[in-house]
Amino acid sequence: MNDRLSFVPDGFDVPLGFDGDGFRLEPLGEAHNARDLAAWSGSIAHVRATPGFQGREWPPVEGMSAEANLADLARHVRDFAARTGFTYSVLEGDEVIGCLYVYPGKDAPERVQVSSWVREDRAPLDKVLYAAVAQWLAEAWPFEAERIDYAAR
């Protein structure tokens, strides 16, 4: 594994999806732009109050243009392709209802920083998503549990 470039071992097959109870995950892509923007921009205060997002500057309270959101999604797509971070859309059918991020820690890159949010109207799903993702990380990903930082629900 090249620690400077890859976040996961070279031989690791990054999961391209996950089916949970009432949701599914798929890699976030530019095709999600309008649905992603609508999902988070309609729940800004809720997302900012979600464990793991408190005290952060995202999502921006003033919102974001579709073009700026598309550029952000394109960055996540590049990270996924480069294996330096992994972002998944949380979907119910084809509707974007949240997002999951799996990245190296900003201040401690040896740590695994995981965060997720769901729209305010899907708030009860937050605990379900958290539990499912925590188990998925333990079973399908190459990270030791003690390295994972994922704010409890």
Which CATH number characterizes residue 85's domain?
3.40.630.30
11 in a domain, yes or no? Answer: no
Residue 115 lies in a domain: yes
What are 116-151's pLDDT values in tens digits?
Answer: 999 999 999 999 999 999 999 999 999 999 999 999
Supply the mean pLDDT for the chain. Answer: 93
Residue 86 belongs to a domain? yes
pTM assigned to the model: 0.93
Query: Residue 2: its pLDDT value, please?
Result: 40
- Looking at the structure of the chain, the number of domains it has is 1
The full DSSP string for 69-106 is HHHHHHHHHHHHHHTS-EEEEEEETTEEEEEEEEEE-S
Pick out the chain residues at pLDDT < 70: 1-6
Is residue 9 in some structural domain?
no
Q: Is residue 99 part of a domain?
A: yes
Q: Within a domain: residue 2? A: no
- Provide the domain limits for residue 92: 18-150
Q: Is 115 exposed, middle or buried (0-12, 13-18, 19+ CB in 10 A)?
A: buried
